[in-house]
Amino acid sequence: MHTYVAELLTAKELAHQAGDIMRIHFNSELAIVRKGDDSPVTKADIEINHMVIETIQEKFGDTVVGEEESTGEYGMGRRWICDPIDGTRAFTWGLPTAMFSLGLAIDGVSTLGVAYDPFLDQLYESVTGSGSFCNGKPIHVSSATLAGSTVAVSGSPEKILTNPAQAKLVQNLTSKAARLACFSGSVYRACLVARGKLSGYVEQDINTHDLAAVDIIIREAGGMITDFDGKPLDYSKRFKGAVISNGVSHKDLLECAAHYAIKN
């Protein structure tokens, strides 16, 4: 079995370097540009993305698919998928829920993942078959059922208020007595599921690059991550939407999000 020692070491080194860049620019006057979907991108995003590309190409010669810059497209084989700063909105607001994430997908399967919170200095890591760790200590999902536990939903209150599908999800979750968490940072929310703080996370608008690293971290921590039909996520292509859970609550979360499966 391939242990991916060199790949994991490189990913962790990049995570710490990215964290240094994030801390330097945090709460500073950032050069912010609006992308086509009106989401922000900062000088720090671009700097980190470029650093990842240079390092991965030098060490492994692999394709890097980044949120801001890529050397190729999604596909089969080895693909490093990077979100230089997940939760850029939070980052620009001065909220410390932004994280760096870098995943290695092989033939569309999340195989290695590193996610770093530079503000709490928490490094999440996993490789297939190895378990999941935060700062070297094993982590595991909770055993909580949906009723009475906390589930993360969209980080945008506006979407919940104006999007009927989002509103229905919230309605369905509350009808099952789940508590809701709404804040910016997809990777941050997913990592909270992996370490047992949240029982689940459902998001319609989450992207491939948001999940490539945390997918393996979730699964190796004992949790589940699927599309709205309950199928494994395919990182050989772009997609939107996911259901993340501790496993115990997954069936209930899929039922709450069933209308998304019909739409997609």
pLDDT digits (tens, 9 = 90+) for 116-167: 999 999 999 999 999 999 999 999 999 999 999 999 998 777 777 788 888 8
pLDDT of residue 39: 67
pLDDT digits (tens, 9 = 90+) for 8-26: 999 999 999 999 999 998 8
pLDDT the model gives residue 35: 55
- What pTM, to 2 d.p., does this model score? 0.94
Instruction: State the pLDDT at residue 4.
Output: 95
Predicted local distance difference test score (pLDDT) of residue 72:
94
Per-residue pLDDT of the chain (264 residues; tens, 9 = 90+): 688 999 999 999 999 999 999 999 887 766 566 555 556 778 889 999 999 999 999 999 999 999 888 999 999 999 999 999 998 888 888 889 999 999 999 999 999 999 999 999 999 999 999 999 999 999 999 999 999 999 999 877 777 778 888 889 999 999 999 999 999 899 999 999 999 999 999 999 899 999 999 999 999 999 999 999 999 999 999 999 999 999 999 999 999 999 998 754
Residue pointed to by tokens 């996993």: 126
pLDDT for position 16: 98
Domains of the chain and CATH, by start: 5-138 (3.30.540.10), 150-263 (3.40.190.80)
Largest separation between any pair of C-alpha atoms in the chain? 52
* DSSP secondary structure, 225-264, as one string: EE-TTSPPP-TTS--EEEEEE-STTHHHHHHHTHHHHHH-
- Residue labelled with tokens 């506006």: 158
Sign for the CA dihedral angle at 170, 204, 39, 78 comes to positive
C-alpha distances in Å from residue 55, one per residue of 58, 62, 248: 5, 10, 39
Task: Say what the pLDDT of residue 210 is.
Answer: 95
For residue 119, give Cα distances in angstroms to 54, 116, 192: 25, 9, 15
- The tokens describing 112, both together, are 């290695």
Mean pLDDT (the chain) is: 92
Contact 105, 202 (CB under 8 A): no
